[in-house]
C-alpha cells in the first residue's frame, strides 16, 4: 500500500512537471491570446461595475463624484480579477463572465429574448475553462502552483479592521446614494415640499444623539436643534412639520415663537404655571382668581404705553390672551371634576371672571 501510494505520487509529480514544461513552451501567440482574454473580461467587468456604480448617483451628478465612483469601481474590478485561491478563481470567473456578457449585450443592444441565454452561455464557458490546481506533492508542483496562485495570507487584526471599515464605508455609500435618489414628502405649515431623504436626515442629525433620543421618547418633546436646518433646507419659516405618507403621519410642533397655546391650548400644568398659582392643583378657586386678576391687570392692553411701539403692544396682548386661556383651562378642568380639589369653591354654572378693567 505504501509503495503504491509513493508510486502514484511520483506519477502525479511527473505529470505536473510535464504540464509546467508545456506551459513554459507555450508559443507567443498562445500567450498573447490568453493575456488578451484576461484583459478583455477585466475591461468588460470594470465597465459593467462602473456603469452600475454611476447609476447609484443622483440624476444631476457632479463630475467629480462620477470620477471618484469610476476610480473606485476600476480598483474593485482589478482586485476581484486577481484571486488567490483556485476555488475562488472558478467562482469569480463565472461571475465576471456573466457580468461581462450583461454589459456587452447592453452595449450591442441585444434583444431582450436572448439576453439571459447569452449570459448563461458565457458563464458556462467560463466555468469550463481549465485551470491548474495547486498541489504540494513535490517541490516542482509547489513552485508551479505558486506561480499561478499566491498563498493565502494570514490576516492580521489590522487587515480585518481595514476590511470591516472598507465594507462599512462601501455600504454606507450605497445607502447614501439610494437616499439621495429618494424624495421625502413633508408639509411645513400646510405647504408641501419634497427634499431628498439624505438631506432631510442630515438636517435632523442632531436629534439622533442618544441623550436627545431618550429625552424625545420619554417626553415627546421635539429637539429645537432640528428646526433651523429644516427651515434652511425647505426655504421657509414654520412652526409645524408633518412627515407624509399617511403610514407615518407624524407631525412635529415647535413652540419657538411661543404661539402653540393659541393653536392647541395649554395643559393643566402649563395653565397653573402661566398664572403663577402657588400650590398648583391644591390651590382654591379664590387663589386662582386672584392670580388671574394680577396677571390681566399687568398685561391689559389699556395699560400699555402707546409710545412703547407695536411690538410691545402685541406682546402684552398675547400675554393677556394667554392668561385668559390658562384660566379657562383650569376652570374647565375643575368643572369636569368638581371634587378633585378639597378647597375648591368652584360651581359648574359659575361664569369665567371678566377681564379686570382699567
pLDDT digits (tens, 9 = 90+) for 79-109: 666 655 566 666 666 666 666 666 666 556 6
Q: Distance between CA 319 and CA 327 in Å, rounded?
A: 12
3-class DSSP assignment, residue 193: strand
Q: How far is CA 279 from CA 186, 272, 326, 334, 347, in A?
A: 43, 9, 16, 15, 20
Name the more confident of 317 and 338.
Answer: 317
Task: Please determine, for residue 9, whether its predicted confidence score (pLDDT) is greater than 50.
Answer: yes
- Angle at Cα 205 formed by Cα 223 and Cα 213, nearest 5°? 50
Confidence at 15, pLDDT banded by 50, 70, 90: low
> What is the reported pLDDT for 102?
62
Please, are residues 96 and 80 in contact by the beta-carbon 8 Å criterion?
Answer: yes
Task: Please determine, for residue 296, whether its predicted confidence score (pLDDT) is greater than 60.
Answer: yes
Q: Which domains does the chain have, with CATH numbers?
A: 2-82+132-149+156-178 (no CATH), 186-257 (no CATH), 264-336 (1.10.287)
pTM for this predicted structure: 0.34
> What is the reported pLDDT for 24?
54
Task: Please determine, for residue 203, whether its predicted confidence score (pLDDT) is greater than 80.
Answer: yes
Give 3-state DSSP helix, strand, coil % of the chain, rounded to 5: 65, 5, 30
pLDDT digits (tens, 9 = 90+) for 142-164: 444 444 444 444 557 777 788 78
- Mean pLDDT over residues 199-206, rounded? 85
Task: Please determine, for residue 196, whether its predicted confidence score (pLDDT) is greater than 80.
Answer: yes
* Mean pLDDT, rounded, of the chain: 70
> What is the reported pLDDT for 327?
92
> What is the reported pLDDT for 341?
44
- Mean pLDDT over residues 256-278, rounded? 79
Confidence at 2, pLDDT banded by 50, 70, 90: low
- Choose from 103-117, 156-170, 289-303, 340-354 the range with maximum mean pLDDT: 289-303
Task: Please determine, for residue 273, whether its predicted confidence score (pLDDT) is greater than 80.
Answer: yes
Phi, psi of 37 (to 5 degrees): -65, -45
CA-derived radius of gyration, the chain: 38
Strand arrangement, sheet containing 186-188: 191-193, 186-188, 240-243, 250-253
Task: Please determine, for residue 234, whether its predicted confidence score (pLDDT) is greater than 80.
Answer: yes
Name the more confident of 74 and 170.
Answer: 170
> What is the reported pLDDT for 96?
65
- Mean pLDDT over residues 19-43, rounded? 67
> What is the reported pLDDT for 54?
77
- Residue 302, exposed/middle/buried by CB under 10 A (0-12, 13-18, 19+)? exposed
> What is the reported pLDDT for 92?
65
Q: What share of the chain has pLDDT > 90, as a percent?
A: 3
> What is the reported pLDDT for 319?
87
Q: Distance between CA 220 and CA 223 in Å, rounded?
A: 9
Amino acid at each position: 500500500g505504501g509503495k503504491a501510494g509513493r508510486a502514484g505520487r511520483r506519477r502525479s509529480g511527473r505529470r505536473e512537471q510535464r504540464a509546467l514544461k508545456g506551459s513554459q513552451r507555450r508559443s507567443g501567440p498562445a500567450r498573447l491570446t490568453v493575456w488578451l482574454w484576461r484583459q478583455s473580461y477585466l475591461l468588460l467587468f470594470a465597465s459593467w461595475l462602473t456603469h452600475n456604480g454611476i447609476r447609484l448617483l443622483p440624476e444631476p451628478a457632479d463630475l467629480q463624484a462620477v470620477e471618484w465612483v469610476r476610480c473606485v469601481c476600476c480598483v474593485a474590478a482589478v482586485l476581484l480579477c486577481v484571486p488567490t485561491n483556485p476555488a475562488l478563481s472558478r467562482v469569480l470567473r463565472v461571475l465576471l463572465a456573466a457580468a461581462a456578457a450583461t454589459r456587452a449585450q447592453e452595449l450591442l443592444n441585444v434583444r431582450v429574448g436572448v439576453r439571459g441565454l447569452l449570459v448563461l452561455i458565457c458563464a458556462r464557458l467560463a466555468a469550463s475553462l481549465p485551470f491548474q490546481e495547486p498541489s504540494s506533492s513535490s517541490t516542482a508542483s509547489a513552485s508551479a502552483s505558486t506561480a499561478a496562485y499566491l498563498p493565502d495570507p494570514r490576516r492580521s487584526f489590522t487587515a480585518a479592521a481595514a476590511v470591516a471599515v472598507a465594507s462599512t464605508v462601501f455600504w454606507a455609500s450605497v445607502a447614501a446614494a439610494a437616499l439621495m435618489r429618494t424624495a421625502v414628502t413633508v408639509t411645513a405649515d400646510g405647504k408641501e415640499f419634497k427634499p431628498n431623504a439624505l438631506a432631510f436626515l442630515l438636517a435632523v442629525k442632531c436629534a439622533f444623539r442618544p441623550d436627545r433620543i431618550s429625552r424625545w421618547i420619554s417626553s415627546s418633546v421635539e429637539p429645537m436643534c432640528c428646526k433651523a436646518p429644516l427651515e434652511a433646507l425647505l426655504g421657509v419659516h414654520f412652526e409645524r412639520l408633518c412627515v407624509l405618507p399617511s403610514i407615518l403621519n407624524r407631525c412635529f410642533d415647535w413652540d419657538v415663537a411661543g404661539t402653540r397655546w393659541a393653536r392647541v391650548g395649554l395643559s393643566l400644568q402649563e395653565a397653573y404655571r402661566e398664572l403663577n398659582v402657588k400650590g398648583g392643583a391644591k390651590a382654591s378657586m379664590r387663589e386662582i382668581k386672584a392670580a388671574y386678576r394680577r396677571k390681566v391687570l399687568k398685561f391689559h392692553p389699556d395699560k400699555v404705553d402707546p409710545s412703547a411701539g407695536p411690538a410691545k403692544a402685541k406682546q402684552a396682548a398675547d400675554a393677556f390672551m394667554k392668561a385668559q386661556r390658562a384660566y379657562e383651562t383650569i376652570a374647565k378642568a375643575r368643572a369636569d371634576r368638581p371634587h378633585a380639589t378639597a378647597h375648591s369653591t368652584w360651581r359648574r354654572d359659575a361664569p369665567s371672571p371678566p377681564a379686570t378693567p382699567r
